Amino acid sequence: MLTLIARRTLLALAMILAASALTFALIAAAPGNVAALIAERTAGPSASAELVQSIADDLGLNDPLPVRYGRWLSDSVAGDFGGSLRTGKPILEEFAERAPVTGLLLVCGGAIALIMSLTIGMLGAISNGGKIDSLLRALSLAGASTPNFFVAALLVMLFSVTLGWLPAFAGSSAASWIMPCLTIALFPCSVLSRVVRVNLQEIMSRPFATTGFAMGYTRLGVLTREALPNIAVPYLTTFGAQFTLMIIGSIVVETVFAMKGIGAFFIEAIRFRDFISMQATLLSFIMFFVFVNLFVDIICLLIDPRIRRQSNA
Amino acid sequence: MNKLKKEPLFKVKDLVIDLYTEQVSVRAVDSVNLEVNAGEILAVVGESGSGKTVMTLGPLGLLPEGVSVDIRGQSQCSGQDLLNKPARELAKLRGENFGIIFQDPISALNPMKKVGPQLASQAVRLRGVSKQQGKEIAIELLQRTGIPDPEDRYNRYPHEMSGGMLQRVMIALALVGNPKILIADEPITALDATVQAQILELLKDIQCRENIAIILITHDISVVAQMADQVAVLYAGRIAEYGTMEDVLTRPVHPYTKGLLSSVPDLRSKRGENASGPAGITGSPPDQSSLLPGCRFVERCPVAQTFCSKFRPPLEVLPHLSQRHFVACPVAVESTIEQMEGEAYEQ
Amino acid sequence: MLNKHSLSTLATWPWAVLTPVLLFVAIAIFALWISPYDPTTQNYSAVLQGSSWEHWLGTDYLGRDLLSRIITGAQVSLVAMSIVLIAALIIGVTIGSFAGYVGGKTELVLISAIDIILSLPSLVVALAFIGIIGPGYWSMIAALTMAWWANYARMSRAVVTSELHQPYIEAARVMGASHLHIFVRHILPHVLALVVVYASADAGALVLAIATLSFLGLGVEPPTPEWGQMLVDGMNYLEQYPRLVVLPGLALTLVVSSFNLLGEHFALKKVPRGLTQRHLKILKRLRAQEEARISELEASA
């Protein structure tokens, strides 16, 4: 068991290395020299070739690619991502300010998606072909098809413009977090409730579900006792995937509600062609994705007795 | 029939079961009458698709989801009507009166749950005992069903045990609620030949000790010969022949039963044949998706007459001493009666 | 699955889920003829009008006809989506099949690269590419293609690997067929059968991705009408003229749902489902009629 977890962790680290090397190489190959960009920002469009050259020397941009990658990685691991080309602030500082915003958004959105999807999927399975089931099915299809910027706009229209209950832009109040969290939760919630519903349905047609009925349980009893534990693995796997997808949700939501998070930072970096910030943000995203997947993998290993016991033996 | 006879433990009367999916509507059970008394083993025999499982498990609400079921007729357990019961009461009745053993124990046990605690929680629920007592009952049941080292097996997951052991667990699970009726749906088909005999032995043993009734669903004539008191031969959802084991196996009347028996080379052989159909009968079972007049066996029947495809053959009683041998084939019944009269005349 | 056999039996096609998609495709193809106005012509004498006989859905802040813009938006989405899907399919199927067919170290390297790309959400990959090559219509197309091909590459490789071990491939090889011949004649059809169906289910996600990138200002650029970008334009008028946001959003949602419905139809076919009450009632009535007919027949005989 432990060796299995250790192996997965090593694989995850290798993944981070490979993915970051790939992005580093691609960004290095990008048209538009970073040194030229910096020179342009500091000295205006008439920057001399010598200035560009000296900046490139300063940054070590003339070294071979692997050397640069090694230097960048070791600096990044030490927490030094460099300074933003746009604001000049150290990127670590930006991260420290912005990570809590994105983190809170992901955690709240994830929690809403978790609770709602289990509830909705269960209700659908209980209703099984009834009116509630059809309604929830249609709603989750709509939820998975509505772009989150449109959801955000509709929420603003309803709660800010028409009802005037909630502020349209993010502030410090808890109320200003409600719409961003709901927006970001809708898509994963819709997908996950389908996963719950479909997997419950599949498991209810397995022989051991019939055994549950034979033991004297009602349908609700069989659903909660026999079926629910058995959807844990597919559910968690999808939840992990959806949780990482929420990064995209956070990019959109932070843009719409003018929140100062990592997602908005990334978009700004792309717009301003701030390669250094982009690289740092991508590294943090990659780490986030890989660690979420690793975490889900390990939980699945721990939950499923078939895998757990086998690896012990 | 004897009118003073007491009420049977389990009976179905004029039972009709239709199964519906988006693609087909199948009449799986077509006007079936059956009874089981306490301490009796009833074997329900037929090819796969003959409706034996649907007939037995359908009234209990135990057909797999994904198929829509329509049941008509009557089905009673100790005088209680099963078909019009609310789901909650039916579930309670299932737990308390019935124990059910399925064909493939590996898929019939929840893979996420340890076998012992499953038994224990069932004991707590059905017998109203404490958790500690529940565990004791579970271990005792594991022991009684012949599982060696039950304390150790208590904490095993299904995938850590062999098929034979799992079927014993399945039987233990069926016995927790002290059921009146045990339904065994092809209990040995998925098991190794060496284990099959042991499981049959165990079932027989349980039936003797506890005096409970067993409904044994099987396609294997040798199992019937070994176990059954009564036999019902099902063909395409209808009863072809029904009577005591001796009557049906040694004096078969219905051409289908005869074919079924002639396809078994040796009654002691343990290997039954499966879905492909018995060798003694040519052709394949009819398509049950559309209703047709007449006898369902007519296309494969060696003694079929023209009227056979016009009337539905009634279930007629044969004039044996037992008065409990029923056959749904007027042609065969007539010739048998003639034969019997001839024998009597000769004597 | 779509194959030659089912092409000949149109009646068995899932028309209920196919119709909305076909409707969208038709609108996109005939956009030029259907739209009453030129979608980019500004008319300062008719700014921000409500619906009227001249402008059924009103006009936007530059006096452009909203209906025409939404209809043309369908075309823009469909065209962009088709280019990306076809390009990603070609790249994915080629690289994936090559990896599966060649095997060995080449396969390992390629499949690792594919796995790395797949471990990141597609839209993040696309955003990273846009960051590198800069925003714009064609860089959006390129970025989305780069983000999407890995899916199909992985699938193609899986099919190729399993097909290669089939005995008939061995037989063809023994008979002296060339690699190209074996691949094109025997393996490629299997790959395409699976990947194309999967890709058609991906169309909804792709339309959504295009709209999201445009919404973020990194995709289709004004004045070309695109729903996501129209929506972000309309956000400034959200309070007074909500239809500038709602209509493009609605169009987008409807199109994505219809694609998702189609995708779901392919994906969920295998799970057994009970019938609806109404359906069951009809079947029961049919059965009762059949029963009555039979008993009449038996009685009269």
CATH number of residue B311's parent domain: 3.40.50.300
State the pLDDT at residue A313.
Answer: 39
Interface of A with C in 72-91 (CB under 8 A): none
Domain presence at residue A119: yes
Together in a domain, C219 and C279? no
Average pLDDT for chain A: 87
How much helix, strand and coil, in percent to the nearest 5, is found in chain A?
80, 0, 20
Q: How many residues does this entry show for chain C?
A: 301
Question: Does residue A136 surpass a pLDDT of 90?
Answer: yes
| Among B20, B66, B292, beta carbon nearest to C280 | B20
Which domain, by its residues, includes B206? 10-111+157-346
Residue C226 contacts residue C220 (beta carbons within 8 Å): yes
Q: Which residue has the tokens 């579930």?
A: B91
Give chain C positions within 8 Å (CB) of A145.
204, 208, 253, 256-257, 259-260
Give chain A positions within 8 Å (CB) of B98.
214
C-contacting chains (≥3 CB pairs under 8 Å): A, B
| Among B25, B67, B310, beta carbon nearest to C287 | B25
CA pair distance A203, B282, nearest whole angstrom: 38
Together in a domain, A217 and A95? yes
Q: pTM here?
A: 0.85
CATH number of residue C257's parent domain: 1.10.3720.10
State the pLDDT at residue C271.
Answer: 58
Q: In the structure encoding, which two tokens stand for residue C115, read together?
A: 């796995």
Together in a domain, C173 and C293? no
Together in a domain, C149 and C294? no
**What is the percentage of chain A residues whose pLDDT exceeds 90?**
47
Question: Residue C273 contacts by C-beta under 8 Å, 6 or more apart in sequence?
Answer: A129, A201, B22, B66
Query: How sure is the predictor about C64, in pLDDT bands with cuts at 50, 70 and 90?
Result: confident
Q: In the structure encoding, which two tokens stand for residue B146, read together?
A: 């012949």
- DSSP H or E segment with residue A108: helix A91-127
Interface of A with C in 174-193 (CB under 8 A): none
Together in a domain, C198 and C266? yes
Question: Does residue A101 surpass a pLDDT of 50?
Answer: yes
A270 touching chain C per CB within 8 A: yes
CB atoms within 10 A of CB A150: 25
CB atoms within 10 A of CB A230: 21
Q: Of the given ranges (A80-89, A90-99, A144-153, B51-60), which has the lowest mean pLDDT?
A: A80-89
| Among B27, B70, B294, beta carbon nearest to C284 | B70
Domain presence at residue A121: yes
Question: Does residue C160 surpass a pLDDT of 80?
Answer: yes
Together in a domain, C189 and C282? no
Contact A157 C133 (CB under 8 A): no
State the pLDDT at residue C10.
Answer: 64
State the pLDDT at residue B286.
Answer: 80
Give the side-chain half-sphere CA count within 13 A for A312: 9
Question: Does residue C273 surpass a pLDDT of 80?
Answer: no
Compare all CA atoms of chain B with the CA of A232 and give the residue at the minimum distance. Answer: B112
Question: Does residue C128 surpass a pLDDT of 80?
Answer: yes
Average pLDDT for chain C: 85
Domain presence at residue B139: no
Q: Which stretches of chain B score pLDDT less than 50?
A: 1-4, 267-277
C301 touching chain B per CB within 8 A: yes
CATH number of residue A280's parent domain: 1.10.3720.10
Q: Hey, is A91 helix, strand or coil?
A: helix
B24-to-B287, B288, C279, C284 alpha-carbon distances in Å: 11, 9, 12, 12
Interface of C with B in 248-287 (CB under 8 A): 271-275, 279-280, 283-284, 286-287
Total domain count for chain C? Answer: 2
Please tell me the distance in Å from A214's CA to the nearest CA on chain B: 6
CA pair distance A150, B25, nearest whole angstrom: 45
Domain presence at residue A86: no
Hey, which residues does B100 pair with through a beta bridge? B183
CA angle A10, A11, A17 (to 5 degrees): 90
C221 touching chain A per CB within 8 A: no
Together in a domain, A38 and A149? no
State the pLDDT at residue B323.
Answer: 79
Residue B70 contacts residue C284 (beta carbons within 8 Å): yes
Query: How sure is the predictor about C276, in pLDDT bands with cuts at 50, 70 and 90?
Result: confident
- By the 10 Å C-beta count (0-12 exposed, 13-18 middle, 19+ buried), C281 is classed as exposed
Contact B112 A229 (CB under 8 A): yes
Compare all CA atoms of chain B with the CA of A219 and give the residue at the minimum distance. Answer: B87
State the pLDDT at residue B265.
Answer: 57
The sheet with strand B230-235 has its strands ordered as B98-101, B181-185, B213-218, B41-45, B230-235, B238-244, B326-327, B316-317
Taking alpha carbons only, the member of B186, B170, B151 closest to residue B272 is: B186
State the pLDDT at residue C3.
Answer: 45
Query: How sure is the predictor about A228, in pLDDT bands with cuts at 50, 70 and 90?
Result: very high
Compare all CA atoms of chain B with the CA of A216 and give the residue at the minimum distance. Answer: B95
Task: Based on DSSP, count helices (H) and strands (E) in chain A, helices before strands.
Answer: 15, 0
Interface of C with B in 70-99 (CB under 8 A): none
Hey, which residues does B184 pair with through a beta bridge? B101, B216
State the pLDDT at residue B272.
Answer: 44
Please tell me the distance in Å from A46's CA to the nearest CA on chain C: 22
Please tell me the distance in Å from C11's CA to the nearest CA on chain B: 15
Domain presence at residue C9: no
Torsion of the alpha carbons at C263, C266, C272 and C277, rounded to the nearest 10: 60
Q: In the structure encoding, which two tokens stand for residue B15, read together?
A: 């039972």
Which domain, by its residues, includes C221? 16-46+55-270
Hey, which residues does B213 pair with through a beta bridge? B181
Together in a domain, C108 and C128? yes
B179 touching chain A per CB within 8 A: no
Domain presence at residue A171: yes
Together in a domain, A64 and A212? no
Compare all CA atoms of chain C with the CA of A288 and give the residue at the minimum distance. Answer: C120
Together in a domain, C156 and C291? no
Please tell me the distance in Å from C235's CA to the nearest CA on chain A: 8
Mutate to test the interface with A, among B68, B112, B155 (most CBs of A within 10 A): B112
| Among B68, B292, B294, beta carbon nearest to C280 | B68
At B97-147, the pLDDT tens digits run 999 999 888 889 998 899 999 999 999 999 889 999 999 999 999 998 889
Together in a domain, A73 and A136? no
Total domain count for chain B? Answer: 1
Question: Does residue C125 surpass a pLDDT of 80?
Answer: yes
Mutate to test the interface with C, among A183, A270, A294, A295 (most CBs of C within 10 A): A270
Question: Does residue C35 surpass a pLDDT of 60?
Answer: yes
Average pLDDT over residues A248-264: 93
Together in a domain, C264 and C139? yes
Domain presence at residue A312: no
A157 touching chain C per CB within 8 A: yes
Residue B277 zone, left/alpha/beta (φ > 0; ψ -120 to 50; rest): left
Compare all CA atoms of chain B with the CA of C301 and give the residue at the minimum distance. Answer: B310
Together in a domain, C42 and C114? yes
Contact C298 B68 (CB under 8 A): no
Contact A205 B126 (CB under 8 A): no
| Among B65, B91, B125, beta carbon nearest to A205 | B65
B111 touching chain A per CB within 8 A: yes
Domain presence at residue C200: yes
Together in a domain, A166 and A70? no
Together in a domain, A134 and A16? no
Which domain, by its residues, includes A123? 91-304
C297 touching chain B per CB within 8 A: yes
At C74-102, the pLDDT tens digits run 999 999 999 999 999 999 999 999 998 88
